[in-house]
A and B are shown apart, each in its own frame.
Chain A
């Protein structure tokens, strides 16, 4: 019976080709927009997740609490110091600890001036390794910083660009940082994010002298012991630091974040942005649904006498209802399938262009099965929902009036 309904619906849709196509066009524009937005959003999330996984999920980062708004550069409420680092080292479950100092600096070379971040590399090899692993630091030229380096520096990949200092930096160049001369010993491989590619790394002692900050720490990077739950270790660190800094729970002037939590926060933000954009795009689907309703009402009107014939030879209300409902559901699904295809094409194109133009692997379209199935089901639901009222009207037609073509 269902098959009969379906073939009937297909025949009638084919008869009104132009109208069916236009109606489906409305649906597939909407579905294409939603599919491409969500697939790019999800792809971005997956790519970021993969980067985090490479960093390792056993990392914990301790930072001073900062105010997230207002004039930049004044954010830290109460800075962390080396004494805090000592406390963290004592916490059970902590394997390796590295301290980081990050500041902005004025950098002069070849009569050009740049303002950028400088970061310290710990002098202990344990800590230095931890940072190197965490950011996957490799050089494309020269070497990384080593124990015993004093007035040396390693620069980010962005300094290979002539635009920075008039020519690319290379090993042996003497560069002024806040007025003091450092020698470039290596250039980092591209890391992908501007804030990392623009960084300048200095040996910790030299940097502390340069800024006259013997005690301050911008961030403490912790690796938890193998087999320990980083979340649990993070909580322990939080508890110990609370005691040490004499603050109450929930009133901490510092934050302890595990890489898992960071990832979660980032994922939530991305999800919200994707949801807002897809939500606005979904408005067009609503409009497409209204288009289906309209087409179906017209179809009922045109086939009034046909319905009369069906009813007079024994079709029940239910049968007529289903014939029209299936017709509108089909409009939705067919529009949905084409829409999904176009959406996939769109986001693949965006991925390709982004890969070419920005050289970043971050923009990646992913098509999880639930997105494809979800979009298909959704378009079917929109189609049938849009057809409900017209189908009901058709099924309730009085056979005699309908035959007369009223």
Chain B
């Protein structure tokens, strides 16, 4: 019975080819827009999550509270004695300083502002800070512990993005007035503060900015294998409260795990995504109205046919089902084509983005749930828009329907 109804609906659609195509066009434009937007934003989300997972689930960041809005804070300044104290906390494997300053890099007669990060001399701390930064060498190598006039540069400097001349290993550049030799170039990770940053020996950075030997911008912590992250976080907080002599609830520092940072990001991102998709789905609503219109027309055109069906014994339910299947098919077929177009669209954007900007962050991502969800949604839109026309068809009195001209 169902199969028969399906075949009847498909034939109905095939007979009115142009109209069916135009109706589906409405659906597939909408579905394509939604699919492209979702896949690109999901791709961005996955790319960023991957970067966070590279940092590792065993890391904790500590930063002074209130470093916000582009103004420096001296509240909750973290120090090297904080670092030494935290190293002794149970469950902590290693603690590193993480210093970042804004400076100027000069080459030939160009100056550009740049973030300068300090790499600690201690071997273990250095490994940890590189792990947290997810910095990987593409060419050349990291400078050795004592090398204070070497620099590793972000990937933007190996292109002509920031300076008009590409930097190569062995080149000399001036940073805040001091000359450094390029010892390595990092892989591109898509985060502008890394790709456009430079990395020098921590002591060299302290000298360059005349920092005292105590202060650090941030602290990075690696917990011991098997240790409970949340528990260690709590212990770190308690220890720092003691060190900074502040009470609970009045901390002048923040202890955060990558997951927490990611959660904040995801919230903001989710809102933007919802707004864009919401506006894009207006077109799906309009497409649904198109289906409704087509179905009303179909009911009108087939009034006599419905009369005949009823005269030979079709029940209201059968007629209803026939038309519902037809509109559902319209929705689903439109959805399938829309998904295909949407996928091509976002793949195209990905290609253009990687060619033009070299950004690894923009990429299309098609989770099963997206494709299946879009298809299901298109079907639901189709069926929902068909309900009223199908209901009208089902309730036609057979005699009048037969007489209809």
Q: Which listed residue, A65, A72, A78, A283, touches B29 by the CB 8 Å rule?
A: A283
Residue of B nearest to A291 (CB): B290
Contact mask B86-126 → A, CB, 8 Å, 1/0? 00000000000000111110000111011100000000000
The reply to whether B279 and A280 form a contact with Cβ atoms under 8 Å apart is yes
| A73-B280 in contact (CB<8A) | no
Q: Chain A residues with Cβ under 8 A from B197's Cβ?
A: 70
A287/B193 in contact, CB under 8 A = no
In the complex, which residue of chain A has the Cβ closest to the Cβ of B287?
A287
Most chain A beta-carbon contacts within 10 A, residue among B100, B286, B296: B286
Task: Please determine whether A251 and B279 come into contact, CB atoms closer than 8 angstroms.
Answer: no
Contact A75 B102 (CB under 8 A): yes
Does A272 count as interface, using CB distance less than 8 angstroms? no
* Partner pick for B282 among A67, A195, A284, A295, CB 8 A cutoff: A284
Residue from A30, A117, A247, A291 having most chain B Cβ neighbours under 10 A: A291
- A117 with B69, Cβ < 8 A, contacts A287-B30, A297-B18 known: yes
Of B22, B76, B101, B104, which contacts A290 at CB under 8 A? B22
Asked if B283 and A106 sit within 8 Å, CB to CB, the answer is: no
Tell me the chain B residues, 222-250 only, with Cβ under 8 Å from chain A: 246, 249-250
How many residues of chain B have a CB within 8 Å of chain A? 61
The reply to whether the CB of A163 lies closer than 8 angstroms to some CB of chain B is: no
Q: Which one of B68, B217, B290 contacts A104 once the chains associate, using CB atoms below 8 Å?
A: B68
- Docked pose: A106 CA to B279 CA in angstroms: 42
Q: Is the CB of A115 within 8 A of B22?
A: no
Least CB distance, B69 to chain A, in whole angstroms: 6
A283-326 vs B, CB cutoff 8 Å, 1 = contact: the mask equals 11011101101110110000000000000000000000000000
| Neighbouring A residues of B69 by C-beta, 8 Å | 72-73, 104, 117, 195
| A72 and B196 alpha carbons, distance in the complex (Å) | 16
- Whether A297 pairs with B19 at a CB distance below 8 angstroms is yes
Q: Is the CB of A218 within 8 A of B71?
A: yes
Are A290 and B26 in contact, with the CB atoms below 8 A? yes
B123-136 interface mask toward A, CB cutoff 8 Å, 1 = contact, 0 = none?
A: 00000000000000
A377 to chain B: which residues have CB within 8 Å? none
How many whole Å from A101's CB to the nearest CB in chain B?
A: 10
Chain B residues within 8 Å of A33, by CB: 279, 282
- Residues of B with C-beta under 8 A to A74: 67, 72, 100-102, 115, 217
Q: Is B73 a contact of A71 with CB atoms below 8 Å?
A: no
Residue interface bits A108-126, CB-to-B below 8 A is 1, else 0? 1000110111000000000
A71 neighbours in B (Cβ, 8 Å): 63, 67, 100, 115, 193, 217-218
- How far, in angstroms, from A287 to B76 measured CA to CA in the complex? 56
Give Cα distance in the complex from A33 to B287, angstroms.
15
B149 interfacial by beta-carbon distance below 8 Å: no
Min CB distance, A236 to chain B, in Å? 22
In the assembly, what is the distance between CA of A71 and CA of B99, in Å? 10
> Does A77 interact with chain B (Cβ within 8 Å)?
yes
Question: In the complex where A65-B113, A78-B104 touch, is A106 in contact with B68 (Cβ < 8 A)?
Answer: no
Across the interface, do A281 and B29 meet the contact criterion of CB distance under 8 Å? Answer: no
Q: Which residues of A contact B250 (CB under 8 A)?
A: 108, 112-113
Q: Which of A69, A72, A108, A281 has the most CB of B within 10 A?
A: A72
From residue A210, how far is it (CB to closest CB) to chain B in Å? 10
- A73 B68 Cβ-Cβ under 8 A: yes
**Contact flags (1/0) for B264-300 with A, using CB distance below 8 Å?**
0000000000011001101101110110111011000
Instruction: Tell me if A383 counts as interface (CB < 8 A to partner B).
Output: no
Smallest CB gap from A253: residue in B: B104
Does B208 interact with chain A (Cβ within 8 Å)? no
The residues of B that contact A281 with a CB separation of less than 8 Å are: 279, 282
Distance from A36 Cβ to chain B, minimum over Cβ atoms (Å):
11
Residue A181 is within 8 A (CB to CB) of chain B in the complex? no
Q: Mark B26-40, 1 if CB is under 8 A from A, else 0.
A: 100110010001000
User: A178 an interface residue at 8 Å Cβ cutoff?
Assistant: yes
Q: Are B29 and A103 in contact (CB under 8 A)?
A: no
Q: Who on chain A is nearest to B18 by CB?
A: A297
Which chain A residue lies CB-closest to B75?
A106
B313 interfacial by beta-carbon distance below 8 Å: no
Q: Tell me if B23 is interfacial: C-beta within 8 Å of chain A.
A: yes
Chain B's closest residue to A294 (CB) is B22
Within 8 Å by CB of B113, from A18, A37, A253, lies A253
Min CB distance B138 to A, Å, is 20
Enumerate chain B residues within 8 angstroms of A115, measured Cβ to Cβ: 65-66, 68, 73, 75, 252
For residue B176, give the distance in angstroms from its CB to the closest CB of chain A: 9
> Is A105 touching B73 in the complex (CB atoms < 8 A)?
yes
Residues of B within 8 A of A78 (CB): 104
- The answer to the question of B74 belonging to the interface, with a C-beta cut-off of 8 Å to chain A, is yes
Residue ID in chain A nearest B282 by CB atoms: A284
Decide yes or no whether A211 CB sits under 8 A from chain B: yes
Interface string of B74-90 (1 = CB under 8 A from A): 11100000000000000
Contact with B along A243-257 (1 / 0, CB 8 A): 000011001010000
- Assembled-state Cα–Cα distance A116/B276 (Å): 33
Q: Which of A21-29, A54-62, A138-146, A360-368 lies at the binding interface?
A: A21-29
Complex-state Cα separation, A105 to B72, whole angstroms:
9
Residues of B within 8 A of A251 (CB): 110-111
B148 CB, min distance to chain A CBs, angstroms: 21
Beta-carbon contact of B283 and A70 below 8 Å: no
Pick from B70, B111, B275: contact of A73, CB under 8 Å = B70
Q: Judge if B397 is at the interface, Cβ distance under 8 Å.
A: no
Whether A277 sits at the interface, judged by CB under 8 Å, is: yes
Are B279's CB and A29's CB within 8 A?
no
A23, A104, A116, A297: which contacts B72 (Cβ < 8 A)? A104
* Per-position 1/0 for A39-77, Cβ under 8 A of B: 000000000000000000000000001110111111111
- Judged by a CB distance under 8 angstroms, whether B25 is at the interface is yes
Residues in chain B near residue A18, CB distance under 8 A: 296
Q: Are A103 and B72 in contact (CB under 8 A)?
A: yes
Chain B: CB-nearest residue to A277: B279
Cβ of B341 to closest chain A Cβ, rounded Å: 12
The 5 residue pairs across chains A and B that have the minimum distance between CB atoms: A70-B193, A115-B66, A73-B67, A284-B283, A106-B75
Additional A-B contacts beyond A22-B293, A108-B250, A195-B69 (12; CB < 8 A): A18-B296, A19-B293, A22-B292, A72-B70, A74-B101, A74-B102, A103-B73, A105-B73, A113-B252, A115-B66, A283-B33, A290-B25
Q: List 25 A-B contacts (CB under 8 A).
A: A23-B293, A29-B285, A67-B102, A70-B193, A73-B64, A73-B73, A74-B67, A74-B115, A103-B72, A103-B73, A104-B72, A104-B75, A106-B66, A113-B249, A113-B252, A115-B66, A115-B68, A218-B71, A251-B111, A283-B280, A284-B30, A287-B283, A290-B29, A297-B22, A298-B19
A interface with B by C-beta (< 8 Å): 18-19, 22-23, 25-26, 29-30, 33, 37, 65-67, 69-78, 102-106, 108, 112-113, 115-117, 178, 195, 211, 218, 247-248, 251, 253, 277, 280-281, 283-284, 286-288, 290-291, 293-295, 297-298
Could you list which residues of chain B lie within 8 angstroms of chain A, going by C-beta atoms?
18-19, 22-23, 25-26, 29-30, 33, 37, 63-76, 100-104, 109-111, 113-115, 192-193, 196-197, 217-218, 246, 249-250, 252, 275-276, 279-280, 282-283, 285-287, 289-290, 292-294, 296-297
